[in-house]
Chains A and B, each alone.
Chain A
Amino acid sequence: MAAAASACGGAGCGQRCSSASASGAEEDAPAERMGRLSISAATACGKCDGGGAAVFVAGGVGMCVECFRAHLFGKFKLAVTSNAMVRPTDAILLAFSGGPASRVALQFIHEMQSKAIQSWETSNSQALPAFGVGVAFVDESVLSARPEHETETAIEDIKSIVSSLSPGDKKVHVVPLEDVFSSGSGVKAARLKEVVGMIDDETGRDDFVRCLRMLSLQKIARENGYTKIMLGTCASGIACHVLAATVKGQGYSLPADVQYVDTRWEVPVVLPLHDCLAQELNLLCELDSLKTQQLLDRPCSGINSLVASFVSRLREENPSREHTILRTAQKLKPFSFNKFSANGYHDFLPSRLRPKFQNVDTNESTFSEILCLICGSPFSERELQNLESTKHMDQKRTDRYTAHCCQSCHFQILPTATDMYEHFFSLLPKPWTEKADTASASNSSLRDQIADCLLDKDDDEN
């Protein structure tokens, strides 16, 4: 297990994956851990000619520490501005795992916020307010057999990391994963354990918890008035996801997950570290002594861990392989929800930039994709046909839910025995099942109107 998990190259595949390797490899020399990203005093910086110790970036020139930081921040900022990720009126919820990727995201968004606050204070009109930032940590300790005091220490660490960043008051939300269920607290934990325990497939369990995590972030954002969720998912993490999704047969829905912006959720999700490699982020934490915490990391398992170790082998072979994988995925057609298209959304942009976004929007139809109940993947043609064919029948609630699961979730998350379905669905968090209920409500309401004229009573018993 340990060997397979060291996989993500110690960097974790972004904040979602929590590779155990980083903490395991703590004894190694930094240079060794970084693979090709090493520090060497011999080469001069290729950017500023300032000399001094240089850092090698995958596939590129050597850079000094200053330029390296600027280079990463530049990628972050470019992602933010060119996708209109952050508006002055936004409140951003940063999903923070404590790993290097989300740590850098926290640092960078903090820097952007400080600048925004500064310019607000100095400007005469004070027209553009500075956006707000909050930090969320989803506590999954109920699923691991870790001693309680470790969790407490880690949470204290996180709080101290966040509180050290000023100006800009950042609220920390530490929320246990089981809070996605709406029942009482003791019952919630039991319910979470039960539903996860019903999933036979190791990879399925892993992915299910990931889906719950997103649900949990959505809930935190909604309840606390955040308008965006920012993830620390980085290029390496996305590269792993590209291969993992391919292996799980999710080729159709894959492009939905690899873009900068994802508005299919109630609170839109943005990925500003989309173009940074995990190794680079690791190195930056190292160089800037950004404090990270990996106590609560859970190693990814099953196919996800196999993919991670495959990607790390590829990286050893060719350091820019992850970028190539990412590029392939970006050539796939994104979905309509992969950009902000709400009316007036781009109004805050300078007028010279606005057309760039608005042109794209005009002929796009509104978001009409059917999404998987559990993982939120858009349905492929085949899955839509499946759903369509079950619609005509007046089905049991369980059948309706089953039809609203994508084929991949069907295989790896739903229980083996079909007679367990009813119980399984009854355990799922309400927001998921309600989605399917409303989706089919229109159909059944039509049926209700004509029910008295239907002769075949059999199919209406359910």
Chain B
Amino acid sequence: MDGSAADGSAADGARLPPPRAGSRLCVRCGERKAALKRPKTLEQICRECFYIVFEDEIHQTIVENSLFKAGERVAIGASGGKDSTVLAYVLSELNRRHNYGLDLFLLSVDEGITGYRDDSLETVKRNEIQYGLPLKIVSYKDLYGWTMDDIVKAIGLKNNCTFCGVFRRQALDRGAALLKADKIVTGHNADDIAETVLLNILRGDIARLSRCTLITTGEDGPIPRCKPFKYTYEKEIVMYAYFKKLDYFSTECIYSPNAYRGFAREFIKDLERMRPRAILDIIKSGENFRISTTTRMPEQGTCGRCGYISSQKLCKACVLLDGLNRGLPKLGIGRTKAGAGADSDGKQRAKRTERNTLSLQGKHGNFDF
């Protein structure tokens, strides 16, 4: 068995004839020279065909899941990174081509991170002109009175991602509401969703596990969010951006340079190498999990202070902000029940979850999408 194991792994995921040396024709059109191996299927195809399948798959996802209705105003969450840049480009392209009738605009959040966000926002501003999409920037400074630079100064480099993640989620919603958007689209890709499925299994979070594979979330809320890249591989997004020479910003956040290298992320990359369809399989598993209807789900209410959706008396952002303003930045970090934060049991639990979330931190700091 050992002998066959070595060559077996190569054939594991891709069921293709053995690659021949030299130039091959695109397996799709059979006319042009193949220029790339498609990460999702390992088919050798030409550049033009890659654009076609890449865009078509996203179009299919949008149509099959009826993500949009004609006439809707859609905010594209734009960070200037590859995912959102490609999303903005492809979405405006598809909107034109298939007459979605959408009113698209870019929505960026300025966290106030010098040397990172200011540079990436420059990219978004160029995108604004390149793609002809209006841009709105909302800043932490305006919304919360704190920039991330200030926050890091106050609390250090530990847990800062928790603040950033919670604040960003709300900032996007507030910005979209300000501009009367009907929907927000984000650039979360298939790799992100597969990672979230795994992380939720590792954490035992059945409530999040049941909704993390939904393509549209918050439909009962004011502004639903959707993920047109749900089935799009990160590698293909990079490839698309590379071949189309799209202008995007690729530096990692200075406050969490290693956020990309979480265990789960690495595991997914290893899996993808072994069997490209594993990413889609994880998402499929996530969609098909038999989650009992009696599973207790947190009840959705509104924050008593700011009116944002919250399952507790105060929303997470208000709790964190409260802590910052009172000089108790540890307040609200970790998973504590409302009001339990003060007693010692709560503190202990918070400490434990803090450790958990640290080791299981994913690409986006926290996985609250």
Contact = CB atoms under 8 A, between A and B. Distances in A.
A331 B9 contact: no
A247 B8 contact: no
Given A408-B281, A416-B15, 10 more contacts: A1-B5, A201-B275, A202-B4, A246-B286, A249-B285, A251-B289, A252-B288, A321-B202, A328-B204, A332-B291
A246 B282 contact: yes
Contacts, number: 127
A251 B8 contact: no
B258 interface: no
Contacts of B356: 318
26 contacts: A1-B2, A145-B1, A145-B2, A200-B15, A202-B5, A202-B12, A203-B275, A205-B8, A246-B198, A247-B281, A247-B282, A248-B285, A249-B281, A249-B285, A251-B284, A251-B285, A251-B287, A255-B290, A298-B1, A302-B12, A324-B203, A328-B201, A328-B209, A333-B290, A408-B281, A416-B15
B270 interface: yes
Nearest to B275: A303
B201 to A, nearest CB: 5
Interface in B276-297: 277-278, 280-282, 284-292, 295
Interface stretch (A167-175, A263-271, A306-314): A306-314
Given A200-B11, A255-B290, A302-B8, A310 B263 contact: yes
Interface string B252-278: 000000000001000100110011011
Contacts of A251: 284-289
A325 B289 contact: no
A201 B8 contact: yes
B307 to A, nearest CB: 32
A282 interface: no
Contacts of A325: 201-202, 204
A306 B267 contact: yes
A292 B230 CA distance: 47
Given A246-B198, A247-B271, A251-B287, A313 B263 contact: yes
Given A303-B274, A317-B263, A332-B290, A143 B285 contact: no
A411 interface: yes
Contacts of B282: 246-247, 249
Contacts of B280: 249
A306 B267 CA distance: 8
B150 to A, nearest CB: 31
A242 B286 CA distance: 12
B37 to A, nearest CB: 18
Classify chain A's interface size: 35 or more
A53 B364 CA distance: 45
B130 interface: no
A352 B202 CA distance: 38
Smallest CB-CB A-B distances: 7 pairs: A251-B285, A249-B281, A202-B8, A252-B288, A333-B290, A251-B288, A246-B285
B271 A254 contact: no
Interface in B352-369: 355-356, 359
Contacts of A246: 197-198, 201, 281-282, 285-286
A245 to B, nearest CB: 7
Interface in A359-393: 380-382
B42 interface: no
Nearest to B290: A333
Contacts of A310: 263, 267
Interface of B: 1-2, 4-5, 8-9, 11-13, 15, 197-198, 200-206, 209, 263, 267, 270-271, 274-275, 277-278, 280-282, 284-292, 295, 355-356, 359
A1 B286 CA distance: 29
Contacts of A333: 290-292
A327 B204 contact: yes
B362 to A, nearest CB: 14
A332 B292 contact: yes
A314 B204 contact: no
Nearest to A380: B288
Interface string A188-227: 0000000000001111010000000000000000000000
B1 A144 contact: yes
B203 to A, nearest CB: 7
B202 A314 contact: yes
A433 interface: no
A250 interface: yes
Nearest to A378: B290
A257 to B, nearest CB: 12
A245 B286 CA distance: 11
Contacts of A382: 288
Given A243-B201, A321-B202, A324-B202, A306 B274 contact: yes
Contacts of A242: 201
Nearest to B279: A247
Given A254-B289, A303-B278, A202 B9 contact: yes
Nearest to A302: B12
A301 interface: yes
A332 B210 CA distance: 10
Between A242, A247, A332, the greatest number of chain B beta carbons within 10 A of the residue's beta carbon is seen for A247
A341 B238 CA distance: 53
Interface in A236-285: 242-243, 245-252, 254-255
A249 B194 CA distance: 11
Contacts of A408: 281
Interface in A1-16: 1
